[in-house]
Chain A
Amino acid sequence: MSDLQLQHDIEQFLYRQAELLDTKQWQAWTELFTADGIYWMPPDASYKTWDGQPAIFAEDRNLMAVRMGRVLHPDAWSQRPLWGTNHVVSNVVIRKAAKNGDVEVTSRFHMMELRRDDVRHFAGQYTHHLVKAKKGYAIRLQRVDMTNAQAAYDYVLQVWV
């Protein structure tokens, strides 16, 4: 595969990831992950592993299922008000492309969130460890280093960024 083709495929995958979040397709989003896939948002960029340390998110597929179940529950009170997000993903750099097709890629994101009349902005870096799947890719690790990670949170994050 040419470098350009690979770059294109990876970019399309990252856009799709963001689109599933913005369109609230939670099930399809969790299915992007491998069976042992992890979604991780460290509180500090210096952290090397999600395991055994404080984390804003450190979720495997089971915990993702809890979060999804909660968000979809009719009595998830905080889900009542209108809210939505808009991700922009860019600066896609392939860091490593293994012979077996696995890829490590970093990108930058910017997310605007609207909740009731309040707008919040979150931005930072994605690091994806992608595994070549039968069709496209699957996420083994999605690391989200938010520029705002250490800032006080005005309200909280309800779903994945």
Chain B
Amino acid sequence: MKTNHKPNFRKMVEPDRVRKEVYTDEEIFRHEMERIHETVWIYCGHESQVKNAGDYVTVQIGRQPMIMVRGKDRKINVLYNRCPHRGNMICGDMKGNTGDQFRCSYHAWTFHHDGRLKNIPMMESGYKGTRLTKDSPELCMKRAARVEAYRGFVFASLAKDGPTLKEFLGEAIVAFDDMCDRAPEGEVEIVPNCFRVIQHSNWKLFMENQIDALHPSVTHQSTGRAAHEVEKQLAKKAKSGEAPLSYHMLSAFATVTIDKWDNFQTINYPYGHCILTGYMGLRPQDPDTLAYDKVMIKAYGRKRFEEIVGVNIHHVLVYPGLSVQSPLQQLRAVRPLGVDRTLTEIWHFRLKGAPEAIYRRSLAYYNLVNSPATLINADDLENFWKCHTGLSSDGGDWVSFARHHGRDIENKGVVSSAPNMGTSEAPMRNQMKAWAKYMSGAAQEGSR
């Protein structure tokens, strides 16, 4: 439902600060769902999740329950998970194979994989002379207005007008190129396990935290230190003099201190996307990496290989709900559940054609950092809850994003943090600038 009255969103966002209500107000949240999540391109899933005809997964876009399904024609459809008869959800499970058709559990209406009505029991006698005939569009499962995929990653937009997926992604498309190019076969395959974690805060806190280079050495100090202690002991004992890379993944949270994070850089784009450059030492010279390099050089030639592994990316954020760590093949999709509750769905991928040892690297990160027993996010989640509680109070009206404000480098709408200012709050300023644009309807004119 479109609401007529709306708050003045532009007044809530100043260049270096944002009103607290943006994170806590339920009416603003409803507008966000309508103007942002249910309008722009939202990540649904990876093609390898629905390999066979009839394979489906359910996914939430904004407040809308959707189904991503593979048709007999191999095409992927995204449909509202709703029977046009009485509104019953068609799929109650999170994934499965629906066979040749969807069949509603309430009155046995059946539908093709693209949502077209297949049959209603006793259609002729039941609907003769009514407003409904077999070809009435309102007897079909409603389709997402637009569906597009890029290198296997499927997105849907619930607005019929707006930029194409490629236009929307812009430079952030590198998230998918970087991930797939690192595979000798140029493709990735999803590992069929999703870790799902709920945070007690607004979704924007997650998006800000992902590229907040200032927080790791503070928030994750305890884990970084503890891992570093064990890492040192293991290195002493090891023949190679080095501990397994997985310990470095954890210790880096403490050993990369704030001043070192300043060497990173953020590049920020008009739709709110952000690239955090920097590499956390993931191009080591151990035997596993060298074996992988060999396979890659054989697949791509040395010149192209150097280009691929030289891509300097730590994280790519696709606003408003996707965080991709392409060098480690991790992906987190953000699903807002309410103004103060947010679900993240966490996946990782296999590089097709890469040696097993390289997959294990991605797996180690997935298990240690991204599992529901994570040694890292436990403290982020604690912060999110504390932020939400503090922001809900009358102790202040603003959230500050002033760090290195005025020192960013802007070129044709693209904002980069200045050299040695990687901890600049430029990404948050840019996200909120994009937010204000979306909310006032200026970013993307479109209707469902």
**Which residue from B197, B221, B371 sits with its C-beta under 8 Å from A57?**
B371
Contact, CB under 8 Å: B373 / A56 = yes
The stretch among B65-73, B222-230, B419-427 that forms the contact with chain A is B222-230
Question: Does B382 interact with chain A (Cβ within 8 Å)?
Answer: yes
Given A69-B225, A70-B223, A78-B378, also A155-B198 (CB < 8 A): yes
* Complex-state Cα separation, A53 to B218, whole angstroms: 31
Question: Does A76 interact with chain B (Cβ within 8 Å)?
Answer: yes
Which of B193, B219, B372 has the most A CB atoms < 10 Å from its CB? B372
- Report A65-84 residues with CB < 8 Å from chain B CB: 65-71, 73-79
CB A145 to nearest CB in B, in angstroms, measures 14
* Complex-state Cα separation, A74 to B363, whole angstroms: 29
**Residues 374-402 of chain B: 1 if any A CB is under 8 Å from the residue's CB, otherwise 0?**
11011101110000000000000000000
* Complex-state Cα separation, A33 to B106, whole angstroms: 52
**Residues 300-331 of chain B: 1 if any A CB is under 8 Å from the residue's CB, otherwise 0?**
00000000000000000000000000000000
Given A52-B356, A54-B191, also A156-B372 (CB < 8 A): yes
B221 contacts across to A, CB distance below 8 A: 73, 75
Question: Does B6 interact with chain A (Cβ within 8 Å)?
Answer: no
Contact, CB under 8 Å: A58 / B222 = no
CB B352 to nearest CB in A, in angstroms, measures 17
Contact, CB under 8 Å: A69 / B373 = no
B364 (CB) vs chain A CBs: closest residue: A58
Given A77-B383, A78-B379, A152-B343, also A66-B219 (CB < 8 A): no
B97 contacts across to A, CB distance below 8 A: none
A63 contacts across to B, CB distance below 8 A: 230, 368
- Report A35-94 residues with CB < 8 Å from chain B CB: 41, 43-44, 52-58, 62-63, 65-71, 73-79
Which of B197, B222, B360 has the most A CB atoms < 10 Å from its CB? B222
Contact, CB under 8 Å: A75 / B222 = yes
B374 (CB) vs chain A CBs: closest residue: A156
* Complex-state Cα separation, A66 to B234, whole angstroms: 12
Question: Does A4 interact with chain B (Cβ within 8 Å)?
Answer: no
Contact, CB under 8 Å: A78 / B381 = yes
CB A131 to nearest CB in B, in angstroms, measures 23
* Complex-state Cα separation, A67 to B195, whole angstroms: 20
Question: Does A154 interact with chain B (Cβ within 8 Å)?
Answer: yes
A74 contacts across to B, CB distance below 8 A: 222
* Complex-state Cα separation, A58 to B367, whole angstroms: 8
Contact, CB under 8 Å: A153 / B360 = no
Contact, CB under 8 Å: A57 / B227 = no
CB A96 to nearest CB in B, in angstroms, measures 28
Question: Does B196 interact with chain A (Cβ within 8 Å)?
Answer: yes
Contact, CB under 8 Å: A70 / B375 = yes
Question: Does A23 interact with chain B (Cβ within 8 Å)?
Answer: no
Given A52-B360, A54-B366, A152-B343, also A66-B379 (CB < 8 A): no
**Which residue from B198, B227, B229, B371 sits with its C-beta under 8 Å from A55?**
B371
B199 contacts across to A, CB distance below 8 A: 155
CB B231 to nearest CB in A, in angstroms, measures 9
**Among all A-B residue pairs, the 8 with the closest Cβ atoms:** A69-B226, A73-B222, A76-B222, A152-B196, A78-B382, A153-B372, A54-B193, A70-B226
Q: 9 more A-B contacts (CB under 8 A) besides A56-B371, A77-B383?
A: A41-B373, A52-B360, A54-B193, A54-B348, A54-B366, A56-B195, A66-B375, A70-B222, A78-B382
Chain B residues in the interface with A (C-beta under 8 A): 191, 193, 195-200, 219, 221-223, 225-227, 229-230, 234, 247, 250, 343, 348, 356, 359-360, 363, 366-368, 371-375, 377-379, 381-383
